[in-house]
Amino acid sequence: MKILMVCLGNICRSPLAEGILLQKIKTAGLDWFVDSAGTNGFHVNEAPHYLSQRVAKRRGIDISKQLCRGFVPEDFARFDKIYAMAADVLEEMKKISGDKYEAGKADLLLNVVHPGQNLEVPDPWYGPEAGYEEVFVLIDEACNELVKTNSIKK
């Protein structure tokens, strides 16, 4: 299974999602590949936001070595499932991908936990550390469900 997590800048939410899911699949012994990307490309080759790193590190997850990258149309060929953190990110993925967009591969991450509700992971970028904590909890819950669902299918 190859999973891509996508947010706006690949600096706050999607790096957390990548790190959280990587930790969970390692613990579960799953042979998955996980990556993350951003739709705006403003932070390419930068490390994740320091508050994302801090919140992850407190929970034993090191995301400091991740480098932000831009989402590209070819990601639909490379990944089995692509999870967007918010509806605007999903719309940008459609625009960027053009005719390479595959609706069956893309969804909002929180639909894993709340199917069809189209809930979003809020962007903590301008807020205090508490917002990053909230984002971590939401993503952690969705990643738990991803791993659990896959384990049941085995």
User: Distance between CA atoms of 93 and 40, rounded to whole angstroms?
Assistant: 10
Q: State yes or no: is 75 an active-site residue.
A: no
User: Distance between CA atoms of 31 and 50, rounded to whole angstroms?
Assistant: 29
Q: State yes or no: is 107 an active-site residue.
A: no
Find the catalytic residue in 13, 35, 69, 140. 13
Alpha-carbon distance values, 6 to 69, 79, 152 (Å): 10, 12, 25
Find the catalytic residue in 35, 75, 123, 140. 123
Q: State yes or no: is 13 an active-site residue.
A: yes
CB atoms within 10 A of CB 111: 15
Please check whether residue 121 is in contact with residue 86, taking contact to mean a CB–CB distance below 8 angstroms.
Answer: yes
Find the catalytic residue in 7, 12, 68, 143. 7
Residues belonging to the active site: 7, 13, 123
